[in-house]
Amino acid sequence: MITKQKPFYLSLLSAVLLTGCASGPSSHSYIGENTKAPLIAEQYQADTAKETTALTNNTVSLDGLHKNTNAELLTAINQALSNNHSIIEQRAIQTQALQRSIITAADQGLNLNLNSNNSLKTTGASSASSSSFDLALNGSWQFDIWGELNAQSKASQYALAQANANLKQAQQQLIGDITNAWYQLIYEQNRTNLILEQQQNSGHQLQAIESSYRQGLSDIGDVYLARANLDSAKSRSSIGAQTLSTAARKLQLLLGKYPNGSLRINGQLPSLDNNFSLGVPANLLKNRADINSSWLAVLAQDASVASHYAKQFPSFTLSGALSLSTAKLSDLFAQNLAWSLLANISQSVFDNGAKKANYQLSKALLIEREQEYLQVLQHAFSEIETLIEAQSAIQEQWHLNAQVLKNSKLSLDQISAQYQNGIANYQQVLNLQQQLFDDQKNQLSLTWQKIQNRIELLHALGNPTATNQSTESK
């Protein structure tokens, strides 16, 4: 009996040796040297299950400016992270990737199936019947000689990590968008208040000019100028109200609320401190979720290339079965156990070049993913450089306009006193009032631009850790 089974044992021994000694394609990377130079695949071999749980159950403690002092804003952000449609969609995609990785990992182990058959037969010539009871345990195990299953498992794990990165990117983007829209609404409220204040002031001036004209102290031209100034102020107020409603709707949509445009916020624009470090360019490779996602797509496709390469070689499967069969159910486990063991080697002889074409296709897709990654990387550096330059320019403009605003106030005070004494005309007063109004709007706009630039810069840097998160002066 041992002699008859020797060919089977030789096949089994050969398969085990091949499994342990073969250097399959899964251990070889097909990524170009220029692409993988900044990164190594090992740093992405993280515990994806733990990261999935963290992303699903996290609570945000910092807003898009990396401040934690605005409790109302943080509450709104956390509610949006639970209700936003895009985030819910990304979580569903992440769950799909997680289940695919579980399914792929299951294919590498031993597969067992338990089958039970009960039958009752009769014949037409006789009323006698016969019964049979069968119980069989079937198992199969595919030897991963060429690394095909290992490469597929790696690809699914990288796909899961990519889904995690995409979810993280979507969450960070939503945090930045809500913070941006929140302070934009406050900016529009302040701007609208400034316009209404200017309109109210213009109305008071018109009343004063008309009273002075009736007393014969002012010219009719001053009355016409004051009326035109009030009409212009009313027009600006109408436009400002529409802009304010648009900003409110933008924030309401992000928060998952009905966009009726009636939302208003009690608060002021925060002043900003340079309480964060730009870091070094290499930090982007770890901090930016979109770069991680693009790189993980490269790694997943690289593993897919290895899998398609291995499919061109023979596959070896070991299968076996244990079975019991009897005519009486009570005697089922009293019978002798039958067993079988089969080693199977299969190789496609002629497939019209399909496997080779799939391998070449996967290599071409890998090149595509590499170029996409390099473009994302270059775009990130360009984006940060642009935002840093803009930050310096806005800061300089803000300081210069602050000085201009101060001089405009002094000039208006002086010309107003001269007008009351009959030295200056009303046109000069109106011109300086308009100049002061424009300077006030510019200063408010530059303050808002500073906040907007900071939100975008922090997001572009991959949200580095702030060194002083609790400082927020008004």
Better-predicted residue by pLDDT, 115 or 396: 396
Per-residue pLDDT reduced to its tens digit, 439-457: 999 999 999 999 999 999 9
CB neighbourhood size of 423 (10 A): 10
Per-residue pLDDT reduced to its tens digit, 52-64: 555 555 678 888 8
- The confidence band for 177, taking pLDDT boundaries of 50, 70 and 90, is very high
Across the chain, what does the average pLDDT equal? 79
Q: Which CATH architecture has domain 32-106+155-315+361-460?
A: Up-down Bundle (1.20)
> In this structure, are residues 363 and 429 in contact, taking their beta carbons and an 8 Å threshold?
no
pLDDT of residue 49: 47
DSSP string for residues in 173-242: HHHHHHHHHHHHHHHHHHHHHHHHHHHHHHHHHHHHHHHHHHTTSS-HHHHHHHHHHHHHHHHHHHHHHH
pLDDT of residue 48: 47
Q: What is the DSSP letter of 296?
A: H
* Whether the predicted pLDDT of 160 surpasses 70: yes
pLDDT of residue 146: 78
CA–CA gap between residue 136 and residue 200 (Å, rounded): 91
Residues 411-438, mean pLDDT to the nearest whole number: 84
Better-predicted residue by pLDDT, 48 or 189: 189
Q: Name the token pair of 374.
A: 């390099």
What lies within 8 Å, CB to CB, of 173 at 6+ separation is 459
Residues 275-298, mean pLDDT to the nearest whole number: 78
CA–CA gap between residue 432 and residue 436 (Å, rounded): 6
* Whether the predicted pLDDT of 197 surpasses 50: yes
Better-predicted residue by pLDDT, 323 or 150: 150
Better-predicted residue by pLDDT, 157 or 31: 157
* Whether the predicted pLDDT of 334 surpasses 70: no
pLDDT of residue 62: 87
CA–CA gap between residue 172 and residue 62 (Å, rounded): 11
Better-predicted residue by pLDDT, 201 or 385: 385
CA–CA gap between residue 359 and residue 351 (Å, rounded): 13
pLDDT of residue 44: 45
CA–CA gap between residue 230 and residue 213 (Å, rounded): 17
What lies within 8 Å, CB to CB, of 167 at 6+ separation is 55, 87, 90, 91, 93, 94
Residues 87-100, mean pLDDT to the nearest whole number: 91
- Pairing assessment for the beta strands 338-346 and 315-326 based on DSSP bridges: antiparallel
Better-predicted residue by pLDDT, 271 or 409: 409
* Whether the predicted pLDDT of 335 surpasses 90: no
Least confident of 118-132, 303-317, 348-362, 406-420: 118-132
Task: List the Cα angle 265/435/268 in 5-degree steps.
Answer: 15
- The confidence band for 178, taking pLDDT boundaries of 50, 70 and 90, is very high
- The confidence band for 473, taking pLDDT boundaries of 50, 70 and 90, is very low
Least confident of 140-149, 160-169, 192-201, 443-452: 140-149
Q: Name the token pair of 98.
A: 């997680």
High-pLDDT (> 90) share of the chain, %: 23
pLDDT of residue 407: 93
- The confidence band for 94, taking pLDDT boundaries of 50, 70 and 90, is very high
pLDDT of residue 140: 78
- The confidence band for 174, taking pLDDT boundaries of 50, 70 and 90, is very high
Question: Which among 420, 438, 409, 410 has a CA at the least distance from the CA of 208?
Answer: 420
Per-residue pLDDT reduced to its tens digit, 347-378: 777 778 888 898 899 899 999 999 999 999 88
* 3-state class (DSSP) for residue 273: coil
Q: Tell me which residue has tokens 């009636």.
A: 262
- Range from 185-189, 208-212, 223-227 that averages highest in pLDDT: 185-189
